[in-house]
Homo-oligomer: A and B are copies of this chain.
Amino acid sequence: MELTIEKEPAGKARKEKDRVHVFAPATVANLVCGFDILGLALDEPGDEVIMERSDQPGVKLLKITGDDGRLPLDPAKNTVSACVQMLLKHLNREDVGVEIELHKHMPIGSGLGSSAASTVAGLFAINQLLGQPLTKQELLPFAMKGEELACGHGHADNVAPSLFGGITLIKSYEPLEVVSIPVPKSLYCSVVFPHVDVPTRAARQMIRSKIELKDAVVQWGNIAGLVSGLFMSDYGLIGRSMQDVLIEPVRAILIPEFYEMRQTAMAAGALGFGISGSGPSVFAFADNHPTASDITRQIVQHLQSKGIDSNGYVSAVNQQGPREL
């Protein structure tokens, strides 16, 4: 596994702790044209994990809030506790006992990397508790295992940005290589989660496994354009590259008012607009905070006028990934 994302020293021994309180960010995967390879972290929303040592070995899940009772409390089935358990085993530290509280501050099944944020928060927490025996690079495969448990597929496009912060490119899976893409200074995200149900698996299954080469060429022109625009802080190029001729037309079918939301966003000054992950959340880029606020507000209002409730967020790109609170 080769990761070019950061240069932090590996395995530098630090003080162990008895209790940590960790935040990990929600994420927007794909960024329209970068299906399965691009993603970014948000300043908000995100999930929190409170982890405390206990005298009894083993991982206990004390409580989960904000999930409406939808997530399993069984430590073997919950991705947070299961990943923490895996990490302890890997480190030969199964003597350690921890009690976990998971506080979800974002909707489940929203396309904002809900499971990824929880998993990353849990893994970051146990690593902090143990004095940071592992680097973020070393934590990544465990987070991917968590995604496999949660979604049936060990994708990195949500866990990588949640863990490293910023905008990440999954350059390849074999070998696993994550590249950090620079974040233009004035880039802001509008994110709206409409309260409609789009299961990730169903959304994934709708995508055709064969595509036209000519469509793929259009797509990789846009990907190369988006990456170039991010490196050059060229907001116009970023916006013009946010086009997806392959996945979006299929996934948009499952998202009510998708094209009306796009029209609303673009009219309000968005650089580009698209689906966050597999949806139903949508996002837009703007080159300043007031415009991003305006886009979120107008999309939420539009949905409301159609009788659809939603959560709206306005966020800079989170540059840090998980952090202790």
Q: Which residues of A contact B (CB under 8 A)?
A: 2, 4, 34-38, 169-172, 177, 179, 181, 207-214, 216-225, 227-228, 231, 234, 236-237, 240-241, 246
Contacts and interface: CB of A to CB of B under 8 A. Distances in A.
A214 B240 CA distance: 25
B34 A240 contact: no
Contacts of A36: 217
Given A208-B213, A213-B209, A246-B213, A224 B171 contact: yes
A51 to B, nearest CB: 34
Given A177-B240, A212-B210, A228-B181, A219 B220 contact: yes
B209 A210 contact: no
A228 B208 CA distance: 28
Contact of A211 (B181, B216, B231, B237): B216
Contacts of A224: 34, 37-38, 169, 171, 179, 223-224, 227
B219 A216 contact: yes
20 contacts: A4-B237, A34-B220, A37-B221, A170-B221, A171-B224, A171-B225, A172-B218, A172-B222, A172-B240, A177-B225, A179-B228, A208-B213, A209-B212, A210-B213, A211-B216, A213-B246, A216-B246, A219-B220, A223-B223, A223-B224
Contact of A171 (B35, B209, B211, B221): B221
Report, nearest first, the 8 A-B pairs whose CB atoms are least far apart.
Answer: A171-B225, A231-B231, A216-B216, A227-B227, A220-B220, A37-B221, A220-B223, A36-B217
A35 B219 CA distance: 11
Contacts of A212: 209-211
Given A35-B217, A35-B220, 12 more contacts: A37-B221, A37-B224, A170-B221, A172-B221, A172-B225, A177-B225, A179-B224, A179-B225, A179-B237, A209-B214, A223-B223, A224-B224
A38 B236 CA distance: 20
Most chain B beta carbons < 10 A, residue from A170, A177, A225, A246:
A225
Given A210-B210, A224-B169, A228-B227, A37 B237 contact: no
Contacts of A2: 240
B4 A234 contact: yes
Nearest to A169: B224
Nearest to A182: B231
Nearest to A38: B224
A53 to B, nearest CB: 40
A86 to B, nearest CB: 26
A71 to B, nearest CB: 29
A209 B227 CA distance: 26
Contacts of A218: 172
A272 B177 CA distance: 17
A35 B223 CA distance: 13
Contact of A241 (B171, B213, B214, B217): B171
